[in-house]
Amino acid sequence: MEREELVQLVLKRLDESAEAIREQWENPTGTHTRHFVVDDLLPVDVARQIYDSFPKDGNGFFSRESFREKKRTSAHLNQHAQILGDMTYAIQDARTVQKVSELVAMTDLEPDPSLYAGGLSMMFQDDFLNPHIDNSHDGQRDRFRRLNLLYYVSPDWTLENGGNFELWDEARRVPKTILCQFNRLVVMETNKLSWHSVSPVKAQVPRCCVSNYFFSVNSPDHTDYFHVTSFTGRPEEHGKRALGVIDNALRTVVSKALKTGRGKDQVNKTQDLS
């Protein structure tokens, strides 16, 4: 499956789902964060090929583990099967960006070939991602993060497997759970209040995802702001909530002063959008 074929398949499915996408985006339920879901993004055999290409032992992936999260990621696409890079960049393709821009009525979206904080994601049993808002900017701090695009490819994933995507209310008390169903694309806006998380994985098989972000030079609310990826605990995790306030503030101060950022050393250096 060539990259151009993947682009055309994605565009076709987005076109077929255009009415439903606009309805979901304009009328979010269970959360204030605008988002949409597209099922059956690719033919089943293609989606299965993408899943089969993930290294099931997580080899070549960078491991993150703290009170905030436990997961593995990789933006070094040249170290993995070609179809993983091709699918990532099919979503980054200018035509896909333009189509998504039209569907969500954002006119200045741009892809990020460096895959700062994006790329491939794997989560194993007991992995998790606590409620958080994403880093406000790209790696160079030239553009604001605007959309998070998540394509899930683990077959036969059920709600009982855990590892499901969650969008929270502003108080981070009640989540809307979105099953990370096989062959499902989830797109959400990112801003100061778009709290989201991944519930702890219970399954003994890996949760595999192709992750992308779109950026723009204009901020979501037309103000100039900056924050690091900021975490809190779940409603029952009072200690993590208190620790998160201090941790987020300290990391933001350090990041501003030193112009450092989480994952800047893990970006994709090939940046192949061709």
Q: What is the 3-state secondary structure (H, E, C) of 204-251?
A: CCCEEEEEEEEEECCCCCCCCCCCCCEECCCCCCHHHHHHHHHHHHHH
Q: Summarize pLDDT for 212-253 with one digit per residue, the tens.
A: 999 999 999 999 999 999 999 999 999 999 999 999 999 988
Q: Summarize pLDDT for 124-173 with one digit per residue, the tens.
A: 999 999 999 999 999 889 999 999 999 999 999 999 999 999 999 988 99
pLDDT above 70 coverage of the chain, percent: 94
- With residue 185 as reference, give the H or E element that holds it: strand 184-189
Q: Coil, strand or helix: which one is 137? A: strand
- In angstroms, the first-to-last Cα distance of the chain is 16
Q: CA-CA distances (angstroms) from residue 96 to 101, 117, 211?
A: 8, 20, 14
Whether residue 139 contacts residue 264, with contact meaning beta carbons closer than 8 Å, is answered with yes
| Average confidence (pLDDT) over 44-61 | 96
Q: Summarize pLDDT for 172-203 with one digit per residue, the tens.
A: 999 999 999 999 999 999 999 999 999 999 99
The residues, any chain, with a CB within 8 Å of residue 87's CB and separated by 6 or more, are: 6, 50, 151, 210
pLDDT above 70 for 26: yes
Whether residue 187 contacts residue 148, with contact meaning beta carbons closer than 8 Å, is answered with yes
Q: CA-CA distances (angstroms) from residue 225 to 88, 99, 203?
A: 28, 28, 39
Q: What is the pLDDT of residue 262?
A: 54
Q: Coil, strand or helix: which one is 170? A: coil
The reported pTM is: 0.94
Q: CA-CA distances (angstroms) from residue 198 to 62, 102, 152, 226?
A: 18, 28, 13, 24
Confidence category of residue 255, pLDDT binned at 50, 70, 90 = confident
pLDDT above 60 for 27: yes
Domains and CATH numbers, the chain: 3-262 (2.60.120.620)
Task: Give the residues across from 188 on adjacent strands.
Answer: 35, 148
Query: Residue 22's Cα: distance from chain center in Å?
Result: 20
> What are the tokens at 56?
């099931």
